[in-house]
A and B are shown apart, each in its own frame.
Chain A
Amino acid sequence: MLKGKQAKILLFIVCVILGTMLSTQFRSAEQARNTIAQERAENLVEKLKAAEKENKIMAEKVKKMEDKSGNEALAKEIQNLKSKAGEIPMTGPGIQVTVDDSKVVHKPGENPNLYIIHDDDLLRLINELRAAGAEAISINKERLLDVSEIRCAGPTVSVNNNRFSPPYIIVAIGKPETLDSALRLRGGVIETLKFWGISVEVEKSDKLTVPAFKGTRHYEYAKPQISSKEGETK
């Protein structure tokens, strides 16, 4: 057994160490709680800010370069190409189609899938609109271009890699009457969808806006074929 005084000093040291461990542990636990969630969020915010900044700088650069070209004919050509590429919002007369899931209560034993909108329903609508001469189409403010997909993504539909849930609002610019009647053909899209109670509302309008394509397109595999003779390209 240790002597009284020595034991007391040692006990005191033990207590100091115990207290130190307690508070250190408390602090590191506190820190761990804060950091894991916060660090990630902060990191992401920083990345987003940097990306936004870069985007802005790039956009300014593009604008400067376009202005620099000076040539009016060239600027016009650029504008023309841009609108053809879907990089400019388009406006004009057309129709707005609102599609929503069926409100009909389905009978037990029936497949509930029949009463909701699927990607192929939307594709058929779009196809019909295109066939009727729609010049610019968007779904829920997403411009539809040649690279756009309309794809089933669980309970949602993915357009241009963005997911949307019903209701879907399709805006098509073209001759309103033609577009409208194309959808209302007997045995056409609307009739089929109506059968299942899916609501399709068509609204004609003189002035509708289809936003610009927000994504990017890049060619990884496809390369333009350059040939001296026009006839050689098949």
Chain B
Amino acid sequence: MIIILIIGVVLGIVLGLYIPIVPQAYVKLLSVALMASLDTVFGGIRAVKEGCYDSQVFISGFFVNGIFAAFLCYCGIRLGIDLYYVAVLAFGLRIFDNIAIIRRLYLKK
């Protein structure tokens, strides 16, 4: 299972090298979406470790979080509010939290 996932990521990276680059104006949106997605992924790993993983929650969370984060950031740009930094900060904090918990769960085993 893990191998399949790794292959998927590698395939995605290779694919990303060939598709056109996002225009400068939208780089911030993509980066927020990426942070949200990463947050979901780490949350998912944590859930697996805790034994309460639900693929439906994970997959829906992955897409909805990413899209919604980008949308919020877009609204922020339109309104002149730097929601970008807020989103990056919040997701960054959560990712670190999740990593810490994952680490503990691994060590406990």
Contacts and interface: CB of A to CB of B under 8 A. Distances in A.
30 contacts: A1-B54, A2-B56, A7-B59, A8-B4, A10-B55, A11-B4, A11-B55, A14-B41, A15-B5, A15-B7, A15-B8, A15-B9, A16-B8, A16-B9, A16-B15, A18-B8, A18-B9, A18-B12, A19-B10, A19-B12, A19-B13, A21-B12, A21-B30, A22-B13, A22-B34, A23-B12, A23-B15, A25-B22, A28-B30, A29-B27
Q: How many A residues are at the interface, by size bracket?
A: 20 to 34
Contacts, number: 106
Interface string B13-54: 111110101101001001101100110010000000000001
B33 to A, nearest CB: 7
Interface of A: 1-2, 7-8, 10-29, 31-32, 35
A55 B56 CA distance: 69
Nearest to B18: A23
Q: How many B residues are at the interface, by size bracket?
A: 20 to 34
Interface string B68-107: 0000000000000000000000000000000000000000
A20 B62 contact: no
A46 B82 CA distance: 35
Contacts of B56: 1-2, 7
A21 B21 contact: no
A141 B107 CA distance: 75
A16 B5 CA distance: 8
A18 B27 contact: no
Given A2-B55, A11-B59, A12-B4, A24 B19 contact: yes
SS class, residues of chain B in contact with chain A: helix
A176 to B, nearest CB: 63
A19 B9 contact: yes
A25 B30 contact: yes
Contacts of B58: 11, 14
Contact of A8 (B1, B10, B17, B38): B1
Contact of B33 (A1, A21, A32): A21
B87 to A, nearest CB: 14
A7 B5 CA distance: 12
Contacts of A21: 12, 16, 30, 33-34, 37
A28 B21 contact: yes
Contact of A20 (B1, B4, B19, B27): B19
Contacts of A13: 8
Nearest to A10: B59
A210 B15 CA distance: 65
Given A7-B55, A12-B4, A28 B9 contact: no
Contacts of B54: 1
A226 B19 CA distance: 70
A22 B16 contact: yes
